[in-house]
Structure 1
Amino acid sequence: MRPQQVTVLGECVADAFTSPPPAPAELSLRVLPGGGPANTAVALARLGTPARFLTRLSQDVFGRLFRAHLEASGVDLSGAVRAAEPSTLAVAELDDQGQAAYSFHAEGTADWQWTRAELAAAGPDDSACLHSGSLALVRDPGAPAVEEFLARAATTATVSLDPNVRPLLVRPDVYRQRLPRWCAAADILRLSEEDLELLLPGTAPDRACDTWHAAGVRLVVLTRGARGALASLDGKRVEVPAPAARVVDTVGAGDSFTAGFLHHLGSRGLLGGRLDGLRVDDVADACAFAVRVAALTCAVAGPNPPWGHQLTPVDAVASE
């Protein structure tokens, strides 16, 4: 079965990684195209899912880099807006475990300027799933228009959200305030352990899942790094271990997990509507595939998800 189409809505970010300086009092940066939603769209397309990306692409040097990267990965940019504002820049420092600490340069940049007219022009499509989240849902002035777009999409498509909390840019209490509304509109909530601690400090994962189920979301998926993933479908839990992996860095791993998860469900015709036909075994299988896609992303530098042909025979069968 050909995978169902997925539309992704959100930002592109230029990820600038520090490297040893060539001389004293200098700093060298290696810039890669990134941003959580962009990474997810790229990973979906590379896995073989028809991926449409609704984004605001700057016309600056970074915007041209984004466009080339997205098009080379097979992402459909027919709904992208050509934006006059500059691109968002994130400077990342990696620790010994490959974890990134970011500083952001995001004031007045293209990603947060969505208007209702722009999103109306993007229009409804035949996508089985709309995935969004990250900063587009919380950064003004565009966030209210994005929320309204998600609510409209929920009438025909499965809605998947990844909060991807960025406390350096938006206070966690802003996410906390809006999350119940998102859960009411969403069918899938994918988040990391770091997100959980920022959203519900000190709360056990099981209790957090129950809280979000009560707010309306049917499926919660919590990624736990090297410990795999925990998923809860209407309160039925499943844990999936992560494979052993060589880690260069973890940048984009969560986005690749999301893409692998949605690709697996879409390959089986399980996306669309309110996930009425989904079983907990389907969720476990999708998580098992997704952790392998994330592990392959960790094995290379930056947000560089695998192509379908790079999967092992076991992975390839799992994605069919």
Structure 2
Amino acid sequence: MSGRFDVSVVGLYILDILGRPVESIPEGGNVEFIEEIRLTVAGTAGGTVVDLAKLGLKCQAVGAVGDDEKADFVLNHMARAGIDCRLMQQLEGVETSATILNVRANGERPALHCRGASDHFDVSPDQLSEVLNCRFLHLGGTGLLARMDGEPSRRLLQAAQEAGCVTTWDLVGAGPDTWQFVEPLLPHIDYFIPSIEEAEILSGVSGVEDNIAFFQSRGVKCCVLTMGGDGSMIAQGNDRVHVPVYDIDVVDTTGCGDAYTAGFIAGLADDRSLLECGHLGTAAASLVASGLGSDAGIIDRAQTEAAMAAWRAA
């Protein structure tokens, strides 16, 4: 299925408000001065779709925002990036999902999150054919999509595979209750892209190989585990591909997982090998880590490819 869009990105759309470096929260009504404040479109869907668009893919955003000033920023920012936002629901009387991130000098980023519109989002039957008008369907944000989590997400992923779409998946903030939403999805996920920490929380087992075996035995076609400073491990059947990190100066890791996913999908769209998909994901994540926020660093595909080539040659 060729589809009108390269990718439909379904799920969690958030406005991030980031500041750095935050050493402490001032007492009382006092003020501390910091170097930088940014607003970005983020979330396991929002951050991914913006990076995909920067990498040159034709994308549609499928999610929900509220009817507030935060929604205006999210929708306008995506539209300026060339993303089709017709399937973004704007819900009356609801806040847009948003996070305040206080980024410390050491990269830690304690967060204050308002769940908002993403809890009220779902894909209605009359939208389904438009949502599936794509080569790749990425579902991002399981665990923070109250109406979509569980059976609605399973039906969406199954329908996507039946329509000939390649399915990719990521979550955010795995917790003790997340597994019940994830387990039914696994047979319908072609590329499963959590962090190793999230995978271990979901599975209850430790270690890369044990987690690969756990998820493959439950139907996942390809496990793509991001491992922070240890790079990423891509497992398809008995094949293993390890992609190391690049030697970079890290400013902020917000959105690095979403950028990796975007680069990986962009590689798949080019019919690249799993190794090359992993390197493109690593390059995208490395660029994002070089600045503040989930869309930092990435300008376009040519710049990302050039940076990847330079890092690999170093």
TM-score by length of 2: 0.85
1:183 aligns with 2:193: no
The match for 1:95 is 104
User: Equivalents in 2 of 1:138, 1:10: separation in Å?
Assistant: 9
Q: CA deviation at 1:316?
A: 7.7
The one-letter code matched in structure 1 to 2:103 is L
| Structure 2 equivalent of residue 120 of structure 1 | 126
* 2:95 counterpart (86, 90, 93): 86
Aligned to 1:229: 232
One-letter amino acid matched to 1:292: A
Which of 150, 154, 168 is equivalent to 1:160? 168
Conserved? CA contact 2:44–2:171, under 8 Å:
no
Identify the residue that residue 306 of structure 2 maps to in structure 1: 313
Question: Is 1:104–2:104 an aligned residue pair?
Answer: no
* 1:36–1:26 distance in 2 versus 1, CA, 3 Å: farther
2:199 and 2:31 map into 1 onto residues whose CA distance is 34
**How many Å apart are 1:59 and its aligned residue?**
2.3
Aligned to 1:14: 15
Q: Is 1:129–2:136 an aligned residue pair? A: yes
Q: After TM superposition, give the deviation of residue 73 of structure 1 in Å.
A: 1.5
Q: Quote the Cα distance in structure 2 between the aligned partners of 1:151 and 1:316.
A: 37
From 272, 275, 297, give the equivalent of 1:284. Answer: 275
Return the letter of the residue paired with 1:288. Answer: H
Percent pairwise identity: 20
Find the residue that maps to 1:220 and give its secondary structure.
strand
What residue in structure 2 maps to residue 42 of structure 1? 50
Asked if structure 1 preserves the Cα contact closer than 8 Å seen for 2:18 and 2:292, the reply is: no
Counterpart of 2:221 in structure 1: which amino acid? R
Which residue in the other structure is 1:297 paired with?
288
Give SS of 1:230's match.
Answer: strand
Distance 1:79 1:122 in 2: 10
Structure 1 residues 226, 25: CA separation in 2 closer, same or farther (over 3 Å shift)? same
How many residues align structurally?
A: 294
Give the CA deviation at 1:58: 2.0
Paired AA for residue 153 in structure 1: A
Deviations for 1:173-198, whole angstroms, at most 9, x for unmatched residues? Answer: 32222322111111110011221232
Q: Which moved more, 1:253-262 or 1:33-42?
A: 33-42
Q: Which letter does structure 2 place at the counterpart of 1:217? A: V
Shift of 1:292: 0.9
- Is the counterpart of residue 261 in structure 1 residue 264 in structure 2? yes
Q: Cα 1:11–1:179, aligned 2, differ >3 Å: closer, same or farther?
A: closer
**Which segment drifts farther, 302-311 or 58-67?**
302-311
For residues 238-257 of structure 1, the aligned pairs below 5 Å read 238-257=241-260
Q: What amino acid is the match of 1:194?
A: E
- Check conservation: 1:18, 1:27, Cα contact below 8 A: no
How is 1:52-67 mapped onto 2 (pairs within 5 angstroms)?
52-67=60-75
CA apart distance, 1:121: 2.1
Cα drift, residue 30 of structure 1 = 4.8
1:209 counterpart (207, 212, 218)? 212
Contact 1:6 1:50 survives alignment (8 Å): yes
Mapped to 2, the partners of 1:17 and 1:116 lie a distance apart of 30
Change (3 A) 1:49 1:116: closer
1:25 to 24, 29, 32: 29
Cα distance between partner residues in 2 of 1:51 and 1:97: 34
Q: Which moved more, 1:191-200 or 1:244-253?
A: 191-200
Note if contact 1:257-1:294 (Cα within 8 Å) is conserved in structure 2: yes
Structure 1 length normalisation: TM-score? 0.83
Deviations 1:124-150 (A, max 9, x none): 443111001314x55323334333222
The answer to whether the 8 Å contact 1:231/1:238 transfers is yes
Paired with 1:311 and 1:295, the residues of 2 have a C-alpha distance of 10
Which 5+ residue runs of structure 2 have no aligned equivalent? none
- Secondary structure of residue in 1 paired with 2:177: helix
